[in-house]
Each structure stands twice: as structure tokens, then as C-alpha cells.
Structure 1
């Protein structure tokens, strides 16, 4: 174990990753290992941080593993690092999915959100560029700086993935590489899935924040602002989705708090995905969770179901 951790730390330093504390499982009730890297340099981006979860047995064999990349990594595993004292419990969800026998153990790479830069790092550049002027001005006010999702995606799909595949025993091909996130992270996951189909074979876009700004303000940007923005998202999917080709996409939302605004947008996106020839339940899924709010406990409650559908080994090409 110590030899493995020392090797990973040394490789991280060689590649410009500065490891912070290394957290190991504290008991048999918390299997797996968590490795944390701080002060991660990424071209064109604020400083990044990583928490990597290795499944049980990783350090005792030669097996190679699929990889799941997840945004908002500080909210995935540890209440002490979370924003709202709530977490996705992604490691526990993965263990539950694995216990079904239908989901292979995955390495989970949690990429922390960079504080106030989260919005401009996660907002898809395509949507920002295509937005009408009034809506774009509101996006710019939210961003507080240039949109950098292009640079973030380039880093995710390039240097970060290369480092993970070099230093961990991964299955690096598209069909064993997934990405997931919620809210603005849901939008970013869709962006990665559409723009880099060569890298990401599976994506979960959870409670995606389709309004992109305060949903109560979208209607102020144009007479048909909400409908126009929904069509923009639909056009974006129609233009970038392509054929399924063995890929899988998960979409969902609740019906309370912020999620209460999402149904019209999701309906438009769903219609365009279906029209592109994707088979619902096989190539893609879209779920509504009555009463579910826009928060980590709600996402944690359905994450095992998401993993069981998205990562099902029987559905691989």
C-alpha cells in the first residue's frame, strides 16, 4: 500500500501535480482508497484539485479499470470538504452498483470546482456564443470573466486523462470512460459528451441547469426567452449528438426548488434526442423524480440507479 502511494505521489510531482494529504479507507465500512491532489496546474484554467477513489482490491492485483470523471469533486465523498454539509456518496453508490454484478469496479476521478470560477468553467461555450445579446449579458455577469469551458474540456480530455491513464491501471478507450455532474456540472457533462465522442462513451447529466442563469430572469431576455433558450439547447443536441454508436446518455431532474423550472427544457432536449434515432431506455434515458430538490442528498439518493443504468457492462458494444 505505502509503495503504491509513494509511486503515485512521485509521478504526480513529475507531471506538475502537487499531492496534498492522502486519505485511506478508515474501516471496512468504508472500502476503497481516496487520494487527494492539490495545486494542480492546468493551462488556461484556475488551479485545479482532484480526489481520486480507487475501488477495493486496486492495490492487490493487476486488473485494469474503467474510469468515471465527476465534476464538483469536493462534494462527492467527504462531508468535511463539501459546500453544504451534503455529499453524493459516490463511492457508496459505486459499491452498491458493483454489488449487482452488472457494473464493473470503476476508478472515480473527482475534479473540484474552482470556487467563484465554477460557472465560467462549466457553462458550455457553444451555448454562450449562440445566446442572444440580452441573455449573453446575464451569463457574462454570472461568469465574472471569460468563459473557459473550452479550456476545461481540452484539459479533461487531454492532459488530465493522459495522466490518469499513465499512472493508474485504466481501460482508456471510449467505451470505458464516463463523465458525470449535476446542475452546471450536468451541462458540462453534456458538453463533453457532445464535443468529444471519441473520449466519453457515457455521460450522466443530472439536474442540468438548462436556464443557465436565474430561471426567473430568462423570460426577461426576450418575449419568448424560455422557449427560445429551450430550442437553443435542442438545436445544440441535434447538431452535435450524432448516432449512438454504443454510447449511453442519462438525463434527469426533480420537481422542487430549482429543478421545478427544468421540465420544458428537458422535454425539448428529449424530443431532439429521440428524433436523432436514439432509443430511449437503451441508448439514452430521461427520468423525472417527483418531489426531488436541487441538492446533493437528492442526487445521492438516485446515484446508484444512475450508475446501474449508465455503467451496465451488459450494454457495452
Structure 2
């Protein structure tokens, strides 16, 4: 059973001489553990947004914790406030794994999305830029047919990663009792959040030692005929995946709804990762028959990537 007490605290952080206000949520019926909420994290790279920091109920300053950064933070803890009334139940799952002594001590940093900016924030930019101008123009035309009007200047994923690496992580490293090295730092998300998590471990291999990418949105928008986007991601990964000796990466996919459009690309993940020296020890690419593209489906299996990344 989860219970609640609501407290307020103000922390001063050196970035931009800003005061970061957070609500500390302790023991709520809705939460297992503690959540510190920063309603508008100050940043010079992206539009400010809410960040939740989840701590286990027995969090203590006298020991160190690994850190998991997660996308779409408003979908992780509280189904009563989400648009589809579903949640990942991250607090319950991590608490259960902790209680069973299956994982390292860890905290979760949950970055909320801004609905109308989400696609631009999470779409990896460099893979797109390596395509020819003709292919990029073709993508834009097809995307517009699917009611996506995203232009190259709207793709802000490089700045989104700078926000995490240069602003958010330094705050977490200073404020909380955490390990700061890549071995103990992971990033995770689903769909577009899976794409940006793949991008993060490639762009910042010295920051992120592990990434989990659920139902990764290889098609970029919705699928369309002769879509060059998936191969742009695979070509990028072939050039930029980090050393498998000290990195782990997890992919998975369902077979229903939007996930069905990923099935024809999944063999390419194995090809790319194995060509870079990854083995079953440091990568997964798992199929979940009958599962769809939803928080309810991801919730059923998030223990698997969490144990893969942080297991004892």
C-alpha cells in the first residue's frame, strides 16, 4: 500500500543562478518511494519542463545510487493524471526489484515531454542529416501526408541531449548521493523515447553506459512506402555505437498496433549490433508476441531491461 505526505523544499543550484523549486512527495497512495518534482527545470537548450526525481523509500545519503534517466516522465508513476489512464509503474517495479535484491540501489530521473515539441525533441538529428537532400525532401512530403509538419529546424534532439548531459545530470550529481560515472548511468524510453535513448548512448558514450529502447520508433513518423528513415538510423548506429566492452543496450518490440510496423526492421538491429561486437551478454533485442504500443504493454516488461542494466 502506498500513502502520502506533501512537503515543499527549495534548493539552490549554481546553473544560471537559478532557484529550483521542488515538491517532495512522500508515501502517497499513488507512489512507492519519494518523488521530488521540479515544475520547470531551468535550461538554455530547450523549453523548460517538469522533471521528477524518484527515490526509493529507504534512500539514504550514506550510500551511493545508480541513476536511470527516463523519457516521457508524466507517464511513469501516476495513471490518474495521464492522458490514457495508463502508467509504467516504475516506482512499484523498481521497489519490488529492490526488495527482492535483484538490482543495484538506484534512482530514476523522469523528464516530462511537452506534447507539441515531443517529436522534434526526440527525433535523432544526425541520422537524418546524413541523407541526401532529395531523400530529406521526400521524407517531409510523406510526413506532411501523415499530418506531420516537422522541418529540419524543428528537430532539437541535439539540444535535448545537451540539456540532460550539461544541465540536468550535473544537478542530479550534486544534489543526490549518486555514482556519476557511465557504468552507473543509464537512459531509457519507448517509441520516440527509444530513439533518443539510442541516440544518447551513441552521442555520449562516456556519460551513458547503458540504454534501454522499448518499441523503438524506427519509422520516424508513421510508416510509408520506400521510407529511408530506418536505414538512416541503422547506418548511424554502425558508425557510432559505443564499445560493447563497457556498454549495454536493450531493444524490444511487440507485434500489435504501431509496433507491427517495426517487425520488418528488427533483424537489422541484430545485424548491426553483432557486427559491432555485441553479444547476448551486452545486448538484447526481444520480441513480445501480442503486445501493443502502449504504457500497459511496456509496464508488463520493464523489469526485464531494468534487471538487464542494473542487475546484481
TM-score where L is the length of structure 1: 0.87
Q: How many angstroms apart in 2 are the aligned matches of 1:108 and 1:231?
A: 32
Distance 1:146-1:104 versus aligned 2 partners, 3 A rule: same
Given the alignment of the two structures, is residue 156 of structure 1 paired with residue 157 of structure 2, yes or no?
no
Q: How many angstroms apart in 1 are the aligned matches of 2:169 and 2:141?
A: 33
> Post-superposition shift, 1:17?
5.2
Which residue of structure 1 aligns with residue 4 of structure 2? none
Which residue of structure 2 aligns with residue 177 of structure 1? 185
Distance 1:232-1:30 versus aligned 2 partners, 3 A rule: closer
Which residue of structure 2 aligns with residue 278 of structure 1? 278
- Residue 64 of structure 2 contacts residue 105 of structure 2 at CA under 8 Å; is this kept in 1? no
> Post-superposition shift, 1:77?
0.3
Which residue of structure 2 aligns with residue 90 of structure 1? 90
> Post-superposition shift, 1:237?
1.0
- Residue 12 of structure 1 contacts residue 19 of structure 1 at CA under 8 Å; is this kept in 2? no
Question: How many residues are aligned here?
Answer: 297
TM-score where L is the length of structure 2: 0.89
Which residue of structure 2 aligns with residue 106 of structure 1? 106
- Residue 201 of structure 2 contacts residue 242 of structure 2 at CA under 8 Å; is this kept in 1? no
140-149 or 67-76: bigger deviation: 140-149
The superposition leaves residues 93-124 of structure 1 with CA deviations (integer Å, 9 ceiling, x where unpaired) of 11222234231121100000012000000000
Distance 1:167-1:46 versus aligned 2 partners, 3 A rule: same
Given the alignment of the two structures, is residue 197 of structure 1 paired with residue 205 of structure 2, yes or no?
yes
Which residue of structure 2 aligns with residue 289 of structure 1? 288
Which residue of structure 1 aligns with residue 194 of structure 2? 186
Which residue of structure 2 aligns with residue 143 of structure 1? 150
> Post-superposition shift, 1:138?
4.6
Secondary structure at 2:230 match in 1:
helix
Which residue of structure 1 aligns with residue 59 of structure 2? 58
Q: How many angstroms apart in 2 are the aligned matches of 1:230 and 1:265?
A: 8
Q: How many angstroms apart in 2 are the aligned matches of 1:90 and 1:16?
A: 29
Secondary structure at 2:302 match in 1:
helix
Which residue of structure 1 aligns with residue 138 of structure 2? 134
Given the alignment of the two structures, is residue 243 of structure 1 paired with residue 243 of structure 2, yes or no?
yes
Q: How many angstroms apart in 1 are the aligned matches of 2:120 and 2:262?
A: 20
Which residue of structure 2 aligns with residue 49 of structure 1? 50
Gaps of 5+ in 2: 1-6
Given the alignment of the two structures, is residue 118 of structure 1 paired with residue 118 of structure 2, yes or no?
yes
Which residue of structure 1 aligns with residue 3 of structure 2? none
- Residue 11 of structure 2 contacts residue 19 of structure 2 at CA under 8 Å; is this kept in 1? no
How does 1:184-263 map onto structure 2 within 5 Å?
184-215=192-223, 218-219=224-225, 225-226=226-227, 228-263=228-263
Which residue of structure 2 aligns with residue 77 of structure 1? 77
> Post-superposition shift, 1:292?
0.3
The superposition leaves residues 32-88 of structure 1 with CA deviations (integer Å, 9 ceiling, x where unpaired) of 1011111222213112110110112114x4111010000000000012332211000
Q: How many angstroms apart in 2 are the aligned matches of 1:172 and 1:18?
A: 21
> Post-superposition shift, 1:276?
1.1
Q: How many angstroms apart in 1 are the aligned matches of 2:162 and 2:71?
A: 15
